[in-house]
């Protein structure tokens, strides 16, 4: 396209003004001009609209004019800025440039990007930008001719509403139905929604439980309250009480009748308590003026979600910001009979009949915790393990847990995986046949059980909520959501917390903390971020396992054997001495970094009340606990925790 330019020669220089104005992709002015007066030069340009500012050109000795490379670059930059609503000077490999582009795409705003690393005059353009804006980095963003800045400045403008006002046609916050919609009514989602409401925001919570293949569902509160931490700990306590009854004879308690456990009474009591929690959560949302809807949420367009209730009725809602807190559900084996005849932890805690002889498939903490309390209630329990116990935890501690469980009647079948589950007999619980194959050879295994409990891991509930519609990225391998250190996804108005975060701990207190802090950052002016380092946790197996910091394997990987000192000790709880059980079973160790003054980088304990013991040490580790400080600490006697205050044995690496 050839457009005329108005030129005026004054004292050997030429002034240019576009008429009509184009967004110039390239310029090649070359035209003989008169020595004075007005003249016209032809410029080759790409089609477009807009206006470019005047620029001076030199007149050659023979009446021809030319623009220097620097002036051409300046003209090009000014023209691009003037003729594009959103102009991004970018580099194709820059992750911050990609983030800015994703921001505008998520807002449905078209932009023009010039990739400086693939443009011939890229360095010259970047120099011009530096002179114009005093910014030498990319991305360099302009909107309606106004300089916004780089990636951080653009996101900050988005978060405080400046970006929306400059763009003009993007919805302001007050045009949405809600300030915040939280998808998922678990621990993290509830914490975030209530905190946001406390800070004066209009909030909605969508929560919906897709029934299990056996039809099990539950109320508000998420996994922890309904099918996780709470019922698990209560049933663990039921098993511990059974052991305490056995121990009581050694302490002088006498009773004639044989004590037995009633599964139905326990389940009813546990479910009654959970029901009270469900009601309490609904009441707390009401008190905070949070709108709660028992519906399945699914994105249909940016800032808009479809909510479908149990009756199939659909409503639509918009919000300025969304928080994903959908949690996870148990993974199935993908073999014949798994969904038809097997149960998961989603079914176990409300099972209306005693499971009887049980095969637990898996070696996760869920598998071992369930196997442990079922055995403690007097059931015949077998655990089928594909590889190692408690992957991700300290393996020395994991093997000690397995050995203790075997001592107390749990059978382990190692290096086998099920291939088929068949029903032999109907009933509650009925009778099942399990076929399994070895992971190391041609051997097969067949066994009969009343119940098969699958606990091989969990999958994030992110694949069917319309994230692809609005461009939220997930890890395709596990469905988890990558976020930055502020829990923000690649789409700027969508955040995520809890078990669905990629690479973060799947713990209820972590989700609660992250949810509260996120709401405070969004609406309370806070800058505090969730600290995912040195978070304590406990596995509630019969011999409880508490830990904080690095597993020994991870510590070796991070620091090297030569830079670590590991101190460890066996101990015998006083309460167990009178009944004379489980001596040389409880165990504790600390892992210290010699390069950092023997700072404690890992704490591990096996024994009764391990969670209570670990909590205090977690605070100390967060404050920089060292072996010297630990040695100087006077313990409380007689307690299990005091073993950490005693000088323990040094564990040498051979």
Phi, psi of 184, rounded to the nearest 5 degrees: 120, 125
- Whether 637 is a known active-site residue: answer yes
The structure tokens 């820059």 sit at 94
Q: Find, among 449, 380, 370, the residue nearest to 408 by Cα.
A: 380
Q: Measuring CA to CA, how many Å separate 614 from each of 86, 538, 555?
A: 54, 8, 19
Phi, psi of 566, rounded to the nearest 5 degrees: -115, 125
Task: Specify burial of residue 121 (Cβ count, 10 A radius: 0-12, 13-18, 19+).
Answer: middle
In angstroms, rounded to a whole number, what is the distance separating the alpha carbons of residues 502 and 475?
A: 7
Residue 283 neighbours by CB distance under 10 Å = 10
Q: What length is written for the chain? A: 654
Answer for the pair 328, 461: CB distance below 8 angstroms, yes or no.
yes
Reading the block at residue 85, the tokens are: 């609503």
Answer for the pair 274, 228: CB distance below 8 angstroms, yes or no.
no
In angstroms, rounded to a whole number, what is the distance separating the alpha carbons of residues 529 and 433?
A: 50
Q: Which residues pair with 5 in a beta bridge?
A: 18, 41
Residue 246 neighbours by CB distance under 10 Å = 11
Reading the block at residue 378, the tokens are: 């007097």
3-state SS, residue 560 = coil
Q: Find, among 430, 428, 432, the residue nearest to 420 by Cα.
A: 432
3-state SS, residue 63 = coil
Give Cβ neighbours of residue 547 (< 8 Å, ≥ 6 apart): 393, 394, 397, 536, 537, 538, 602, 603, 604, 605, 614
Annotated catalytic residue, options 261, 404, 604, 637: 637
Reading the block at residue 209, the tokens are: 């439980």
Residue positions annotated with a catalytic role: 637
């Amino acid at each position: 396209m050839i457009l005329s330019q108005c030129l005026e020669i004054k004292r050997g220089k030429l002034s240019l003004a576009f008429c009509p104005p184009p967004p110039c992709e390239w310029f090649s002015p070359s035209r003989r001009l008169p020595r004075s007066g007005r003249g016209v030069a032809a410029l080759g340009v790409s089609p477009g609209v807009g206006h470019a500012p005047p620029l001076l050109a030199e007149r050659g000795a023979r009446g021809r004019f030319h623009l220097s490379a620097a002036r051409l670059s300046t003209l090009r930059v000014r023209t691009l800025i003037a003729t594009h609503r959103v102009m991004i000077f970018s580099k194709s490999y820059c992750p911050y440039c990609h983030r800015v582009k994703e921001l505008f795409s998520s807002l449905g705003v078209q932009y023009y990007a010039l990739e400086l690393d693939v443009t011939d005059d890229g360095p010259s353009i970047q120099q011009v930008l530096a002179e114009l804006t005093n910014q030498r980095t990319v991305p360099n963003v302009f909107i309606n001719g106004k300089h916004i800045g780089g990636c951080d400045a653009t996101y900050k403008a988005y978060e405080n509403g400046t970006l929306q006002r400059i763009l003009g046609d993007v919805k302001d916050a007050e045009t949405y139905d809600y300030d915040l919609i939280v998808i998922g009514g678990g621990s993290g989602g509830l914490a975030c929604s209530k905190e946001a409401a406390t800070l004066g925001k209009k909030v909605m919570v969508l929560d919906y439980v897709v029934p299990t293949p056996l039809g099990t569902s539950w109320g508000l509160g998420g996994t922890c309250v309904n099918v996780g931490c709470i019922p698990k700990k209560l049933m663990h306590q039921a098993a511990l009480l059974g052991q305490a009854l056995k121990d009581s004879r050694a302490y002088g308690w006498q009773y004639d009748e044989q004590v037995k456990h009633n599964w139905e009474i326990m389940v009813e009591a546990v479910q009654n308590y959970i029901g009270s929690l469900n009601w309490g959560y609904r009441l707390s949302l009401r008190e905070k003026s949070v709108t709660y809807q028992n519906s399945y949420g699914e994105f249909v367009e940016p800032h808009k979600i479809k909510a479908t209730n149990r009756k199939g009725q659909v409503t639509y809602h918009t919000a300025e910001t969304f928080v994903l807190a959908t949690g996870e559900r148990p993974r199935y084996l993908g073999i014949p009979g798994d969904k038809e005849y097997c149960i998961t932890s989603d079914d176990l805690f409300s099972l209306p009949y005693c499971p009887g002889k049980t095969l637990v498939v898996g070696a996760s903490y869920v598998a071992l915790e369930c196997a442990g309390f079922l055995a403690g209630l007097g059931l015949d329990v077998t655990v089928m393990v594909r590889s190692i116990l408690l992957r991700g935890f300290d393996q020395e501690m994991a093997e000690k847990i397995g050995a203790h469980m075997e001592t107390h009647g749990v059978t382990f079948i190692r290096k086998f995986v099920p291939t088929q589950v068949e029903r032999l007999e109907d009933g509650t619980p009925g009778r099942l046949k399990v076929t399994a194959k070895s992971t190391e050879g041609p051997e097969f295994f067949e066994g009969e059980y009343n119940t098969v409990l699958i606990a091989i891991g969990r999958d994030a509930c992110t694949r069917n909520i319309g994230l692809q519609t609005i461009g939220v990225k997930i890890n395709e391998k596990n469905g988890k959501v990558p976020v930055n250190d502020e829990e923000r996804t690649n789409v700027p108005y969508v955040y995520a917390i809890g078990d669905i975060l990629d690479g973060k701990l799947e713990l209820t207190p972590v989700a609660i903390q992250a949810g509260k802090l996120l709401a405070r950052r969004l609406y309370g002016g806070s800058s505090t971020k969730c600290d995912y380092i040195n978070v304590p946790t406990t596995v509630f197996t019969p011999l409880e396992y508490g830990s904080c910091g690095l597993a020994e394997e991870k510590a070796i990987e991070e620091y090297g054997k030569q830079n670590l000192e590991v101190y460890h000790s066996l101990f015998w709880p006083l309460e167990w001495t009178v009944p004379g059980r489980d001596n040389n079973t409880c165990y504790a160790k600390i892992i210290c970094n010699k390069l950092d003054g023997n700072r404690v980088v890992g704490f591990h304990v096996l024994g009764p009340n391990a969670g209570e013991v670990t909590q205090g040490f977690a605070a100390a580790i967060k404050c920089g606990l060292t072996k010297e400080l630990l040695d100087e600490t006077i313990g409380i006697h007689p307690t299990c925790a005091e073993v950490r205050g005693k000088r323990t044995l040094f564990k040498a690496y051979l």
